[in-house]
Amino acid sequence: MKACIVGAGAIGGSIGFGLARAGCLVSCIARGRTLATLREKGLRFTDGGPVEAASIHAVESAGELGVQDLVVLAVKAPALTDVAPLILPLLGPSTIVLPAMNGVPWWFFQGFGGELAGTSLEPIDPRGIIASNISPASIIGCVVHFGASCPEPGLIKALPQRTLIIGEPSGKISERLNVLGEILRKSGYTVKLTDSIQREVWYKLWGNMTMNPLSALTGATMDKILDDPLVNQLCREVMAEAKSVGAKIGCPIEQSVDDRIAISRTLGAFKTSMLQDLEAGRPLELDAILTSVVEIGKLVGEKTPYINTVLGLTRLKARIMGLYPQPASEEPANN
């Protein structure tokens, strides 16, 4: 299998290393120091043991590679509008596109959502640029459940337990889904195939949409967020709103808020990806994680005042720091 990693950071690099060790012909698109390091040292990886290296083909543009069997999209959501047109040389009629990204994806309502099926979310895919460049038929959805970091270009540090949930947006358990699942298992992952990838996306979002923005807003690790009784209560209110929105779009969450918070507590003094992005001066994924939920809430008639509050405060901080675009005008959010 020819596989290309678009975004060789913590998640993309981890998946790329696994694919290379499983025998795939792995390429990475990179620039600057990352490109130079990948060419010199390969893709380096550790999950607590010795650092291992996998030889991969590092290039600066998709045009140097041609059509791939698998394209793993592991860029930050704000970058995807610019990236999507650039990866067209990688995409053929049988190419699988595996977006390993946070938040509500642009393909979320592809063949799903009842009356909302086919809906395009403007905050996620402005003017439909992503959808016009990446065929919906190519997508297999992916939810990432593992922690990883990229302390320097080309070096990935990941936790030993790494789970990927994958599924067709249509819910079909297809032959290509089974094949991809086997390849990812050989790559070192626990893999779950699902007939409702949107529900899995929403469940992960249910935790991310509180801890990520609140950590960016406060600079606090997850344990400190949950230890503060007022902030803990705010998390609960946000999660209750998201649970109500999810129930109306076919993504019910059966788990209690208490149980989900208990899971978050097991991570201890964990620094979220959004806090890491803020500290590194990278754009924040607010639209995929929060704005999209507000937008969906409007579509189904669910008010989201607590989500609006967290979004407004975090967005303002990000704008002041130059990590989120300034608006030409801003409509008042759903109350």
Distance CA 303, CA 41 (A): 51
Whether 58 contacts 69, CB under 8 Å: no
Is 186 among the residues known to form the active site?
A: no
Amino acid at 174: S
Q: 3-state SS string over 197-252?
A: HHHHHHHHHHHHHHHHHHHHHHCCCHHHHHHCHHHHHHHHHHHHHHHHHHHHCCCC
Structure-token pair, residue 178? 């089974």
Distance CA 294, CA 284 (A): 17
Q: How big is the chain by its Cα radius of gyration, in Å?
A: 19
Q: Where are the alpha helices (DSSP H) in the chain?
A: 10-21, 32-41, 80-83, 129-133, 175-186, 197-218, 222-227, 229-248, 257-265, 273-280, 286, 292-300, 305-320
- Beta-carbon contacts of 268 under 8 Å, excluding residues fewer than 6 positions away, are 221, 222, 223
Among 186, 192, 204, 317, the one annotated catalytic: 204
Burial grade of 101 (CB within 10 A; 0-12, 13-18, 19 or more): buried
- Catalytic site residues? 204
